[in-house]
Amino acid sequence: MYFRRKTSAGRAYLQIVESRRQGDQVRQYVIATLGRYEDLKASGQLERLLRSGARFSEKAMVLTALDDQKAAPIASRRIGPALVFERLWQETGCRTVVEELSGARKHAFDLERALFLSVLHRLFASGSDRAADRWREDYAIAGIEKLELHHLYRAMAWLGEELPSNQQDGRTPFAPRCVKDLVEERLFEHRRDLLTRLDLVFLALSDQVKRFLRFLSSFIHISPTAAGSQLPSWSGQPSVSGQEWARLSQRG
């Protein structure tokens, strides 16, 4: 059964109609005519009738409660990403290494949780720390309830802190060793065994870095040093043609 608005002689009437199948055809039968639609709506009787019938329907009662703002507020959170990558974070030693390195500093917030949130966000969405702070609202991640945006900034700054001079062995000519390098080394030590050896290293470069290296390669050539190793030296002039130089400049 359903309500139907029927117009007759220029006037609209509200009816309760039931559909019945007879053979291959479906016919509508009027159960009751409730009155003129305009009168029922103006007097509020239509609203009261619908509310009265809604008491016998659980779904309609929920919708009515929402309209009246009487329903208890609820929140939904996604749990899959944290469940999977929390375990990987622990099994690979990331959590242990970060807690060991940050333990002596006595941070006023959970630095390990802030780093985990940033890593998880970059795995699924990427973006800035501010974007990660907004992104976490839709995900259930243990231990991040008290984190604020500035904690994410401080966690990233901690990774970039320069190590003391007595820990600068092996630094590159372009940048000093920082906490990030120490984390990577500790993770390698955490995972290695007596048979582990380092044969191959993968470096993930962003598109911006790749464009910069292409641009820089126009000025740098590789020449052997007295020690037999190879270090980049300044050539002073581009080693490409004018057209190639213009193309690299635009891409860089």
Looking at the fold, whether 21 and 90 belong to one and the same domain comes out as: no
- Average pLDDT, whole number, for the chain? 79
231 pLDDT band, cuts 50/70/90, is: very low
pLDDT of residue 230 exceeding 60, the answer is no
Whether 131 is covered by a domain: the verdict is: yes
Both 58 and 112 in one domain: the answer is no
Same-domain status, 118 and 161: yes
Task: Report if residue 165 sits inside a domain.
Answer: yes
Q: Are 118 and 176 members of one domain?
A: yes
Q: Are residues 92 and 176 in the same domain?
A: yes
Vertex 205: Cα angle to 216 and 112 (nearest 5): 135
75 within a domain of the structure (yes/no): no
- Same domain for 180 and 221, yes or no, is no
Q: How many independent structural domains does the chain possess? A: 3
pLDDT of residue 189 exceeding 80: yes
Other C-beta atoms lying within 10 Å of the C-beta of residue 13: 19
Tell me which long-range contacts 204-212 makes (C-beta under 8 A, separation of at least 24): 211/251, 211/252, 212/252
Residue 223 and residue 174 in one domain: no
Model confidence, pTM: 0.55
Q: Which of 115-129, 130-144, 161-175, 187-201 has the lowest mean pLDDT?
A: 187-201
**Per-residue pLDDT tens over the stretch 106-151:** 789 999 999 999 999 999 988 899 999 999 999 999 999 999 999 9
Name residue 110's beta-bridge partners: none
Q: Long-range contact list for 133-138, CB < 8 A, 24+ apart?
A: 138/77, 138/78
Answer with the one of 43, 67, 91 that is the final residue of a domain: 67
Query: What is the rounded CA–CA span in Å between residue 40 and residue 49?
Result: 10
Lowest mean pLDDT among 48-52, 94-98, 154-158, 232-236: 232-236
Can you tell me the mean pLDDT for 78-95? 92
Say yes or no: 14 and 103 in one domain. no
Query: How high is the pLDDT of residue 228?
Result: 43
Has residue 28 been placed in a domain? yes
Does residue 250 have a pLDDT over 60?
no
The answer to whether residue 73 is domain-embedded is no
Tell me what the mean pLDDT of segment 7-22 comes to.
Answer: 86
The C-alpha angle with vertex 142 and arms to 139 and 146, in degrees rounded to 5, equals 90
Which is more confidently placed, 19 or 54?
A: 19
What percent of the chain stands above pLDDT 90? 30
DSSP string, 183-198: HHHHHHHHH--TT---
pLDDT bracket for residue 3 (50, 70, 90): confident
Residues 170 and 212 in one domain: no
* Structural domain that includes position 40: 2-67
